[in-house]
């Protein structure tokens, strides 16, 4: 491997870790948001969602989020909790929605973390 390849891989991994942690929410805060009616958006692909999903989640794949979010959350003050498989896509989705003017968007992170917070088992 060349140094350029190593640096490129390191950059991609660094960006993934950064996105994963970006706008992360504590478990306690997430549960509080859920009690108050927050919506949970699963930004994994339709195929991933079909294989395993959590109850009361809305599937909007990351590549469709910009076009479809207004139909699920027309009010930009709605609290949205995003999750995916590992946390990177939900971090990217959180940033995207904030850029669109959504004020209360948080990254739940991975499927397993969302499952723990939501208290449901993925089917």
> DSSP string covering 5-28, please?
HHHHHHHHHHHHHHHHHTTB--HH
> In the chain, what are the domain boundaries?
3-118
Query: Among the options 38, 43, 82, 84, which is catalytic?
Result: 84
- Per the annotation, the verdict on 84 as an active-site residue is yes
- Is the pLDDT reported for residue 95 higher than 50? yes
Of the CATH numbers 3.40.250.10, 3.40.50.300, 3.40.50.11540, 3.20.20.70, which one belongs to the domain with range 3-118?
A: 3.40.250.10
Read off the pLDDT of each residue in 97-101 and give the average, rounded to a whole number.
Answer: 98
- Which residue's structure tokens are 């994963």? 20
The per-residue pLDDT for 67 is 98
Token pair for 112: 């397993």
Distance (Å, whole) CA 16 – CA 19: 5
Read off the pLDDT of each residue in 39-51 and give the average, rounded to a whole number.
Answer: 98
Distance (Å, whole) CA 119 – CA 41: 16
- Is the pLDDT reported for residue 14 higher than 90? no
Output the average pLDDT for the chain: 88
């Amino acid at each position: 491997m060349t140094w350029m390849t190593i640096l490129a891989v390191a950059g991609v991994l660094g960006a993934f870790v950064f996105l994963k942690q970006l706008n992360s929410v504590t478990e306690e805060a997430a549960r509080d948001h859920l009690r108050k009616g927050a919506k949970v958006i699963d930004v994994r692909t339709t195929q991933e969602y079909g294989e395993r999903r959590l109850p009361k989640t809305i599937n909007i794949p990351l590549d469709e989020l910009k076009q479809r979010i207004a139909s699920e959350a027309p009010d930009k003050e709605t609290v949205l909790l995003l999750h995916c498989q590992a946390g990177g896509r939900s971090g990217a989705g959180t940033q995207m929605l904030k850029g669109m003017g959504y004020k209360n968007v948080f990254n739940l992170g991975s499927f397993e973390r969302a499952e723990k917070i939501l208290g449901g088992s993925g089917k």
